[in-house]
C-alpha cells in the first residue's frame, strides 16, 4: 500500500475503534472498561496480519512486536493511548497507534537493525481513577503500588478492575501463525496485578520512543503547517483555591459591609488572565468554580476554584504560581476574606530528545515538508516514556483546534504526510548509528 492508502486505512481504523464505547451515542472508553476488550480484539488482529507477535501486560497495555534483523536487536517503541475522555473524538490517542501500525505495514516485511514495538497504552487520560498515565507508568517502571488501591466512582479499585477485566484473554504471546481471532484457542492464566512490575522495560535495550498525536490546539493550523516537531511538553501545576468570606442576606447587607467571596474570586480570576497574558508561553486557567451556598438571594460566603498553570520551563511556571497566590492573598486581605489553597498535582516539563528531533527534521525535509517546532501544552505518554528512553513526538494539525470533542478531526493529507515522514524517519534510523 502507498502512503495515501495507509493514511486512509489509519483513519478508517480510528473510526472503527470509536464505535467501541461505554455509552450509547457518544465515545467514552475509560481504563479497562468492557469496550477495551473489543479494542484489543481489533488491534491484535491487525497486528497479527502484519506478522507481529502480540502480548498484553498486567496493566492492560497491548503490545505488538515486529522483529529486527537479529534476535538481540534493540527496540524502537511507538504508540499512544486507546482510552478516551468522556464524549471524545476518534483520533486523540488511537491515531498514534494506527500510524505506528501503518509504518510497520509500509515496511512490507523489511527487517530493520532494530525491532519495533507498538504499544496501545490502556490508560492516559486519568478519567476513571483521577490519575493519568497508568499504562505508560507501568512500561517506564514508575507504577506506584498505591495506584492499585485507587477507587473509581463505583468504588472499584484499580486492582479489582484488572481482575474484573479478565486480562487472561491475551496474557501469553500470540504467534502470527495462530488464528487472528484473539479469543480463540487461548488458555486463561489469570494475570495478577502483582505482575505489573514485570511490565517495565529494560532501559538498556530500548533506544527510543516516537509518538504521533494530533496537536489538540490551533497553532499548526493558524501557521499553515501540516506537522510539527514537539520540542518539549509543558510542566503543569494544578491547585485548589478557596476564598472564604461571610454569607449574608442579599437584600439587607449594605455593600460596604459585605465580605463577598465571589466578588473576591472574580477579581482574582481577571488577575490570573492578565498575569498569564503578560508572560510569553504561560497559560493559566480557572476551569472550575463553585459558589456557596449557591442561592440567588444569598451573598456567597465561600468560593472554591481550580487553578491550572502550564509552561515549558519549570522555573517560569513555579514563579507564576507563586505570583498568582500572592495576588490572591492581596485580594483576600483587601476584602476581608480568608484564602486557602492546596497543590494537587505537579508535573515537571519534559524536553523531547534533540537527536531524535533532528532525525524527524531530516525526515520532514527529505519528504518536502516544512520543519516547524512547537511546545505541547497538553500532557502525553511521551513525557512518561522520556524517563525510560529518548522520546519525541510528531504533531498533526487539528482542524479548528478541536480535541476532547466529538467533532475532533484530521485532514487525510496530513495523515499521509505523517506516514511519509514516519517511514523516512525509520529509514534514517536504520541507516545511521542507533
Relative to beta strand 206-214, strand 391-396 is parallel
Digit-coded pLDDT (tens) for 270-320: 999 999 999 999 999 999 999 999 999 999 999 999 999 999 999 999 999
Looking at the chain, the whole-number percentage of residues with pLDDT higher than 70 is: 94
The kind and range of the H/E element at 219 are helix 219-223
Digit-coded pLDDT (tens) for 386-405: 999 999 999 999 999 999 99
Dump the DSSP string for 399-421. Answer: GGG--SSTT----HHHHHHHHHH
What residues does each domain of the chain span?
3-233+349-431, 235-347
Instruction: Give the DSSP letter of residue 132.
Output: -
Q: Which three cell numbers stand for residue 362?
A: 531530516
Dump the DSSP string for 25-81. Answer: TBB---TT-THHHHHHHHHHHHHHHTT-EEEE-TT--EEEEE--SSTT--EEEEEEE
Digit-coded pLDDT (tens) for 206-236: 999 999 999 999 999 999 999 999 999 999 9
- pLDDT greater than 50 at residue 117: yes
Q: What CATH superfamily classification does 3-233+349-431 receive?
A: Zn peptidases (3.40.630.10)
Instruction: Give the span between the Cα atoms of 359 and 48, in whole angstroms.
Output: 29
Relative to beta strand 75-81, strand 206-214 is parallel
Average confidence score pLDDT of the chain: 93
Cα angle value 129/165/9 (rounded, 5°): 90
- Comparing CA positions, the residue from 418, 385, 408 lying closest to residue 81 is 385
Question: Within 10 Å of residue 110's Cβ, how many Cβ atoms?
Answer: 10
- pLDDT greater than 80 at residue 187: no
Region 76-90: mean pLDDT is 98
- Comparing CA positions, the residue from 246, 274, 273, 249 lying closest to residue 262 is 246
At 181, the pLDDT band (50, 70, 90 cuts) reads very low
Looking at the chain, the whole-number percentage of residues with pLDDT higher than 90 is: 90
Interhelix angle 94-106/35-49, nearest 10 degrees? 10
- The CATH code of the domain at 235-347 is 3.30.70.360
- pLDDT greater than 50 at residue 184: no
- pLDDT greater than 90 at residue 424: yes
The kind and range of the H/E element at 290 are strand 289-292
- Comparing CA positions, the residue from 350, 341, 352, 265 lying closest to residue 311 is 350
Amino acid at each position: 500500500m502507498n502512503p495515501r492508502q495507509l493514511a486512509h486505512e489509519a483513519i478508517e481504523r480510528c473510526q472503527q475503534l470509536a464505535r467501541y464505547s461505554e455509552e450509547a451515542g457518544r465515545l467514552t472508553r475509560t481504563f479497562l472498561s468492557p469496550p477495551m476488550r473489543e479494542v484489543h480484539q481489533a488491534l491484535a488482529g491487525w497486528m497479527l496480519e502484519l506478522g507481529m507477535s502480540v502480548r498484553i501486560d498486567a496493566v492492560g497495555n497491548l503490545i505488538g512486536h515486529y522483529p529486527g534483523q537479529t534476535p538481540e536487536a534493540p527496540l524502537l517503541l511507538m504508540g499512544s493511548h486507546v482510552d478516551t475522555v468522556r464524549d471524545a473524538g476518534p483520533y486523540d490517542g488511537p491515531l498514534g497507534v494506527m500510524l505506528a501500525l501503518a509504518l510497520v505495514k509500509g515496511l512490507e516485511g523489511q527487517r530493520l537493525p532494530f525491532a519495533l514495538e507498538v504499544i496501545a497504552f490502556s490508560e492516559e487520560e486519568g478519567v476513571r481513577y483521577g490519575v493519568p498515565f497508568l499504562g505508560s507508568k507501568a512500561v517506564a517502571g514508575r507504577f506506584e503500588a498505591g495506584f492499585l488501591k485507587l477507587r473509581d466512582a463505583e468504588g472499584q479499585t484499580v486492582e479489582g478492575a484488572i481482575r474484573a477485566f479478565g486480562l487472561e484473554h491475551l496474557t501469553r504471546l500470540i504467534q502470527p501463525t495462530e488464528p487472528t481471532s484473539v479469543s480463540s484457542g487461548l488458555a486463561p492464566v489469570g494475570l495478577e496485578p502483582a505482575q505489573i512490575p514485570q511490565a517495565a522495560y529494560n532501559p538498556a535495550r530500548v533506544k527510543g520512543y516516537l509518538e504521533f498525536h494530533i496537536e489538540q490546539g490551533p497553532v499548526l493550523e493558524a501557521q499553515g503547517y501540516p506537522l510539527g516537531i514537539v520540542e518539549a511538553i509543558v510542566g503543569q501545576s494544578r491547585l485548589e483555591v478557596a476564598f472564604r468570606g461571610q454569607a449574608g442576606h442579599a437584600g439587607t447587607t449594605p455593600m460596604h459591609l459585605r465580605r463577598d467571596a465571589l466578588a473576591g474570586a472574580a477579581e482574582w480570576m481577571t488577575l490570573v488572565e492578565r498575569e498569564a497574558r503578560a508572560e510569553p508561553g504561560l497559560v493559566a486557567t480557572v476551569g472550575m468554580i463553585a459558589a456557596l451556598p449557591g442561592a440567588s438571594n444569598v451573598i456567597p460566603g465561600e468560593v472554591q476554584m481550580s487553578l491550572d498553570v502550564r509552561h515549558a520551563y519549570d522555573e517560569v511556571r513555579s514563579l507564576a504560581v507563586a505570583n498568582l497566590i500572592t495576588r490572591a492573598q492581596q485580594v483576600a486581605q483587601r476584602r476581608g476574606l480568608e484564602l486557602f489553597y492546596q497543590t494537587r498535582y505537579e508535573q515537571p516539563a519534559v524536553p523531547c530528545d534533540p537527536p531524535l528531533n533532528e532525525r524527524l527534521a531530516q525526515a520532514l525535509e527529505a519528504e518536502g515538508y516544512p520543519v516547524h517546532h512547537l511546545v505541547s501544552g497538553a500532557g502525553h505518554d511521551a513525557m512518561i516514556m522520556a524517563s525510560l528512553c529518548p522520546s519525541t513526538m510528531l504533531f498533526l494539525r487539528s482542524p479548528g483546534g478541536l480535541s476532547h470533542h466529538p467533532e475532533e478531526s484530521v485532514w487525510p493529507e496530513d495523515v499521509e504526510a505523517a506516514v511519509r515522514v514516519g517511514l523516512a524517519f525509520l529509514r534514517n534510523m536504520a541507516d545511521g548509528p542507533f
